[in-house]
């Protein structure tokens, strides 16, 4: 039987740490090189767009990309404390000495934006360009092109995620990802947040960012199927124009699936759960301890306040 209690508490795996977000607070817990856990907490601010369907999807994605990169950099700084690094360049020293928080925040925003551009290139431009090139030498109709483009998009995504698991540092991040999911599942089950209880939980969760990404790709195949193929460049432009709508639709479907226990919602969640076999791994006890440290400060006194 699926668990009846679904919580709005979510998180993000970091380098040697986890960020958890609750209804009122965000907490970032990172394991220091000396074995202690560093905790950093911030307040959650509500925005007008959180009540507007479709709009809230793309706005929340932008906010999460920015904050996610911020916590990734923070975790890397904590995890690397005391580790000997290469000497800073003159430019790095000048940047630290002559820029304030506003400029540094702008640089983080630019880095997050660069990540979005790379994702758009890999999953929007590249499959369309390859399909258009193949069609020049092997004439095909609309639906064969749509199918080929969808297959290429999925293959690029799966290949990218598989390569990520080959890197030792990223593999550890995916283990922390598993700890995050298990800890949230333990809280949803109403059990005390102990290492023993958490270890028994599933590392797969239907409201994971991986589920959102695979949902975006699947929906994009159907949404973009209606776009014309008269020009590869024009098709890419149409896709970019529809991207906010794509994200908004995917967010609303994921939000609905997270609240529903019906057969259709389980079918919608299944591809994301399958994909989590590449993005989550079983954590060790020390990672679970970090997850408990991250989630404890963000949990409301009244459990019902965190209901999804």
Residue 90 Cα to chain centre, angstroms:
34
Are 204 and 294 within 8 A, CB to CB? no
pLDDT band (50, 70, 90) for residue 55: very high
pLDDT band (50, 70, 90) for residue 100: low
pLDDT of residue 228: 86
pLDDT band (50, 70, 90) for residue 59: very high
Are 214 and 275 within 8 A, CB to CB? yes
Are 248 and 60 within 8 A, CB to CB? no
pLDDT of residue 2: 46
**In degrees to the nearest 10, what's the CA dihedral of 98, 100, 106, 110?**
40
For the segment 246-304, what is each residue's pLDDT rounded down to a tens digit?
Answer: 999 999 998 888 777 788 888 988 999 999 999 999 999 999 999 999 999 999 988 88
For the segment 64-77, what is each residue's pLDDT rounded down to a tens digit?
Answer: 888 888 899 899 99
What is the C-alpha to C-alpha distance for residues 138 and 172, in angstroms, rounded to an integer?
Answer: 44
User: How is residue 64 written in tokens?
Assistant: 């999460």
Residue 50 Cα to chain centre, angstroms:
18
If you average pLDDT over residues 1-10, what whole number do you get?
72
If you average pLDDT over residues 192-210, what whole number do you get?
93
pLDDT of residue 46: 85
pLDDT of residue 17: 97
**In degrees to the nearest 10, what's the CA dihedral of 222, 228, 229, 230?**
-170
pTM, to two decimals: 0.85
User: How is residue 212 written in tokens?
Assistant: 């959102």
pLDDT band (50, 70, 90) for residue 171: very high
Are 204 and 273 within 8 A, CB to CB? yes
Pick from 29, 303, 79, 288: nearest CA to 180: 288
What is the C-alpha to C-alpha distance for residues 228 and 132, in angstroms, rounded to an integer?
Answer: 12
pLDDT of residue 62: 86
Q: Assign 281 to helix, strand or coil.
A: coil
Q: Which residues contact 232 (CB under 8 A, 6 or more apart)?
A: 128, 129, 132
pLDDT of residue 285: 97
Residue with tokens 């994909």: 275
pLDDT of residue 173: 95
Q: Where are the domains of the chain?
A: 10-81+100-302
pLDDT of residue 40: 94
User: How is residue 196 written in tokens?
Assistant: 């023993």
Q: How many CB atoms lie within 10 A of CB 260?
A: 16
Pick from 14, 35, 222, 36: nearest CA to 27: 14
pLDDT of residue 117: 81
pLDDT of residue 261: 78
If you average pLDDT over residues 233-253, what whole number do you get?
92
For the segment 177-198, what is each residue's pLDDT rounded down to a tens digit?
Answer: 999 999 999 999 999 999 999 9
Residue by residue, what is the 3-state secondary structure of 170-188? HHHHHHHHHHHHHHHHHHH
pLDDT of residue 52: 93
For the segment 80-97, what is each residue's pLDDT rounded down to a tens digit?
Answer: 876 655 555 554 554 455
Q: Which residues contact 134 (CB under 8 A, 6 or more apart)?
A: 140, 148
Pick from 166, 149, 276: nearest CA to 215: 276
């Amino acid at each position: 039987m699926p668990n009846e209690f679904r919580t709005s508490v979510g998180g993000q795996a970091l380098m040697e740490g986890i960020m958890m977000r609750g209804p009122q607070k965000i907490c970032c817990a990172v394991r220091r090189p000396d074995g202690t856990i560093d905790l950093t907490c911030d307040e959650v601010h509500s925005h007008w767009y959180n009540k507007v369907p479709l709009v809230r999807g793309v706005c929340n994605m932008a906010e999460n990309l920015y904050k996610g990169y911020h916590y990734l950099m923070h975790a890397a700084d904590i995890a690397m404390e005391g580790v000997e690094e290469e000497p800073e360049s003159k430019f790095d020293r000048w940047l630290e000495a002559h820029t304030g928080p506003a400029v540094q925040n702008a640089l983080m925003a630019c880095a997050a934006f660069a990540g979005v551009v790379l994702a758009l290139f890999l999953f929007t431009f590249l499959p369309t360009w390859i399909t258009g090139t193949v069609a020049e030498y092997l004439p095909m109709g609309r639906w064969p092109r749509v199918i080929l483009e969808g297959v290429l998009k999925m293959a690029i995504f799966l290949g990218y995620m598989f390569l990520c698991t080959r890197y030792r540092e990223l593999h550890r991040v995916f283990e922390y990802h598993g700890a995050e999911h298990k800890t949230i599942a333990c809280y949803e089950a109403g059990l005390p947040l102990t290492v023993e209880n958490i270890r028994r939980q599933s590392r797969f969760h239907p409201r994971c960012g991986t589920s959102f990404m695979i949902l975006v790709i699947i929906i994009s195949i159907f949404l973009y199927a209606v776009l014309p193929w008269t020009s590869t460049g024009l098709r890419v432009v149409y896709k970019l124009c529809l991207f906010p709508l794509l994200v908004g639709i995917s967010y609303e479907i994921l939000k609905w699936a997270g609240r529903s226990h019906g057969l259709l919602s389980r079918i919608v969640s299944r591809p994301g759960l399958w994909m989590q076999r590449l993005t989550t791994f079983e954590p060790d006890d020390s990672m679970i301890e970090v997850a408990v440290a991250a989630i404890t400060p963000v949990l409301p006194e009244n459990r019902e306040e965190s209901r999804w």
